[in-house]
């Protein structure tokens, strides 16, 4: 069971396949790595451990909040009335649990000595050059960014602000890349994301994309050095038990979403070229 007490405690890259993790020598990455993973899906956890072993990167496995288990204090954590009023449909328990998992990692990063961390979901594939990318980001002046997206479900173009080694660029995007599979976040950015998602009203990836509202100083590494593994089924996609909690969006919610989406796009373009 999830409880509030638990939350407080808790050139284009080449992608290689995972090798055996036996007797791997792991070294700390330039930026601490946190992997969100469910105990009940051990094959995904091993998928990540094998990749880290191949790359020789130390990491911390963070037990994900399970949407199949009761979530204590759900009425305080999740603002259902605001969600329905704004979006016209409910979040599933799996989506709420996913958001809680990311916020738990953000709390750890905000309280950490390093003051920065790489957040990974356990259904990604890391490029062989991800470690040098992390080293370059770690070497940038503190305050240069709050969030750097390393993966996305959508290919995006952006204004390049810095050339990185290995054929990568650090860029500002006009529109979010979609997905919370991999991102670097500073302690300041983590605190902003926690504040923006308290209480929860939307999926974590949408919260990350809404830079016009979350006020996060966000960039992306292009091309993405981390990609989503499409062959791994999403645990958030287990909606069967939650379908009854969803309702159809009304005309007001559809119009509001369209307005916000257009406002976000205009804000993103202005920010991309003027910031």
Domains and CATH numbers, the chain: 4-274 (3.90.550)
Q: What does the alpha-carbon distance between residue 81 and residue 95 come to, in Å, rounded to a whole number? A: 16
Asked whether residue 267 carries a pLDDT value surpassing 60, the answer given is no
Asked whether residue 46 carries a pLDDT value surpassing 80, the answer given is yes
pLDDT at 16: 45
Q: What does the alpha-carbon distance between residue 110 and residue 188 come to, in Å, rounded to a whole number? A: 7
Q: Does residue 259 sit in helix, strand or coil?
A: helix
Q: Which residues are bridge partners to 162 per DSSP?
A: 170
Torsion of CA 89, 90, 95, 101, to 10 degrees: 130
What letter would DSSP give residue 142?
T
Residue 205 sits at the vertex; the CA angle it makes with 200 and 206, to the nearest 5 degrees, is 70
pLDDT band per the 50, 70, 90 thresholds, residue 134: very high
Q: Percent of the chain at pLDDT above 90?
A: 65
């Amino acid at each position: 069971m999830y409880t509030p007490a638990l939350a407080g405690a808790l050139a284009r890259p080449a992608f290689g396949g995972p090798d055996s993790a036996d007797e791997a020598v792991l070294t700390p990455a330039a930026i601490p790595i946190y992997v969100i993973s469910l105990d009940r899906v051990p094959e995904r956890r091993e998928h990540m451990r094998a990749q880290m072993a191949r790359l020789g990167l130390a990491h911390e496995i963070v037990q994900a909040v399970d949407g199949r288990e009761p979530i204590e204090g759900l009425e305080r954590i999740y603002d259902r009335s605001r969600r329905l009023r704004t979006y016209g449909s409910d979040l599933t328990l799996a989506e709420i649990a996913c958001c809680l998992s990311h916020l738990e990692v953000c709390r750890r990063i905000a309280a950490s000595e390093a003051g920065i961390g790489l957040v990974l979901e356990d259904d990604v594939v890391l490029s062989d050059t991800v470690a040098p990318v992390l080293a370059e980001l770690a070497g940038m002046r503190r305050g240069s960014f709050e969030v750097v997206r390393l993966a996305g479900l959508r290919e995006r173009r952006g204004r390049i602000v810095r050339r990185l080694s290995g054929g990568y660029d650090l860029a500002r995007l006009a529109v979010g890349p979609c997905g919370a599979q991999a991102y670097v976040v500073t302690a300041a950015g983590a605190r902003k994301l926690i504040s923006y998602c308290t209480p929860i009203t939307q999926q974590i990836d949408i919260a990350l994309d809404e830079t016009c509202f979350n006020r996060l100083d966000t960039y992306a590494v292009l091309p993405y050095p981390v990609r989503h593994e499409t062959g791994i089924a999403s645990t958030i996609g287990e909606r069967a038990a939650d379908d009854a909690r969803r309702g159809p969006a009304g005309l007001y919610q559809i119009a509001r979403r369209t307005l916000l989406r257009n406002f976000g796009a205009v804000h993103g373009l202005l920010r991309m070229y003027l910031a």
